[in-house]
Amino acid sequence: MLNYIWAFMLLIGIVYGAWSGNMSAVSDAVLDSSVQAVELVISMAGIVAMWCGLMEIADNAGVVRLLSRGLRPVVLWLLPGLRGEEGEKAAEYITLNFIMNMLGTGWSATGPGLMAMEELDKLNRKRQPDRADTASNEMCTFLVLNISSLQLIPVNIIAYRRAYGAVEPAGIVVPALIATGISTLAAVIFCKVMCRCSYKSGI
């Protein structure tokens, strides 16, 4: 669907540019955007490499494992269906995904997130074989919490602001923490209410 939307927007822009006699401006914008995209990727490569390196060091030093252990009770409270041995692997991937997102390294959180969803799907098929095509409460909760994405250090935004010449790139940290904190709180309340409603209705 997104491909159709983007194609439609591009087509409308090109047609309007040709109709208004600004086709040269459209061509210049396309070329300028291409150059800016390459420059942005190159400028962000160093920041991404630095944070990935720091995460690797933290992992080898046992910091990530320590954070995972501390966050685990919260994950099990948010996703009570993962209690027990069969939910162990999914809980581990979800905890790692949450930590990566909180540290602002969304690119490194994608892998654990996909593996977590795969484990949740296996668990759902095992527990409810007759409703295997329906997402479980745990799957929906994990997705909503991922979208709300609490971030302690918004590395991506800091990198973008730095690339585009912001005077104080890290000045976004406190506002981002407040915004994502509120969005995550809203996500937790929503998920808890909806899960309770689904349990009462037997869905």
Query: What does the alpha-carbon distance between residue 21 and residue 70 come to, in Å, rounded to a whole number?
Result: 61
Structure tokens at 33: 């955007």
* Per-residue model confidence as pLDDT tens digits over 73-111: 888 888 888 887 777 888 888 888 888 788 776 667 777
Which tens digits make up the pLDDT trace of 146-196? Answer: 888 788 877 777 777 877 777 888 888 888 889 889 999 999 999 888 888
Q: In this predicted model, which residue has the larger pLDDT, 162 or 199?
A: 162
Q: How confident is the model at residue 199 (pLDDT cuts 50, 70, 90)?
A: low
Q: What is the pLDDT of residues 3-35, one digit of tens each?
A: 888 788 878 877 877 787 777 777 777 777 777
Strand ranges for 22-174 from DSSP E = none
Domains in the chain: boundaries: 62-201
As a whole number, mean pLDDT of residues 126-146 equals: 84
- The pair phi, psi for residue 37, each rounded to 5°, is -65, -45
In the predicted model, is pLDDT for residue 51 greater than 60?
A: yes
| Whether 132 contacts 102, CB under 8 Å | no
Rounded to whole angstroms, the Cα distance separating 6 from 13 reads: 11
pTM for this entry: 0.68
Query: How far, rounded to the nearest angstrom, does the alpha carbon of residue 148 sit from its chain's CA centroid?
Result: 8
